[in-house]
Amino acid sequence: MLVSCDKETKEEPAGPDVVPALKPNDADARAAAVAEITEVFRAYQQATAAKDGEAAAGLVSQATLDRYELLRSHVAAALDESDGGPARKALKSMKIGDRIMAAMILMRIGHTNIQNMSGRDVYVLGVREGWVGQRTFANGGLGPLVLNGAVATAPVLTDGEETAASWRFVNEGGWRIDLTALMNFADKRLHAIAMTRGISEDQLIDEILGEMPAIAPADQWQEYRPQGGGFAAQFPSTPSYEVKEEGDTKLQVYSATSASQGTFMVTFTELKSPVSGEDADLLLNSTAAGLVKGAQGELLGVREGVAGGLPMRVLQFKVGDRLSTAMVMVTATRLVQLVVVGPPTGDAAKLSLFFDSFVDLEGASPTAAP
| Selection from 271, 243, 270, 247 nearest residue 255 by Cα | 243
| CB-based contact 166:154 (threshold 8 Å) | yes
Q: Report pTM.
A: 0.53
Position 226 scores a pLDDT of 84
Query: What is the tally of structural domains in the chain?
Result: 2
Same domain? 228 vs 348: yes
pLDDT tens per residue across span 299-348: 998 888 876 677 889 998 888 777 888 999 888 788 999 998 875 445 55
- Looking at 168, 185, 211, which one is the last position of a domain? 211
| Helix-helix angle 96-114:62-79, to 10 degrees | 70
Same domain? 201 vs 249: no
Position 275 scores a pLDDT of 81
Question: Residue 330 is part of which domain span?
Answer: 222-360
**How distant is the alpha carbon of residue 142 from its chain centre?**
26
Same domain? 190 vs 71: yes
Decide if 149 is inside a domain.
yes
| Selection from 250, 236, 224, 227 nearest residue 340 by Cα | 236
Decide if 122 is inside a domain.
yes
Same domain? 37 vs 95: yes
| Region of 15 on the Ramachandran plot (φ > 0 left; ψ -120 to 50 alpha; else beta) | left
Between 205-214, 218-227, 274-283, the lowest mean confidence (pLDDT) is in 205-214
Question: For position 317, which CATH number holds?
Answer: 3.40.1000.10
Same domain? 243 vs 331: yes
pLDDT tens per residue across span 358-368: 888 765 444 44
| Selection from 320, 327, 286, 321 nearest residue 303 by Cα | 327
Same domain? 52 vs 113: yes
pLDDT tens per residue across span 10-69: 444 333 333 334 344 578 888 899 999 999 999 999 988 888 888 999 999 999 999 999
Longest dimension (CA), the chain: 78
Decide if 240 is inside a domain.
yes
Same domain? 196 vs 262: no
Same domain? 139 vs 57: yes
Same domain? 46 vs 101: yes
Same domain? 58 vs 157: yes
Same domain? 32 vs 75: yes
- Looking at 157, 184, 211, which one is the last position of a domain? 211
**Residue 250 binned pLDDT confidence (cut-offs 50, 70, 90):** confident
Decide if 4 is inside a domain.
no
Same domain? 181 vs 239: no
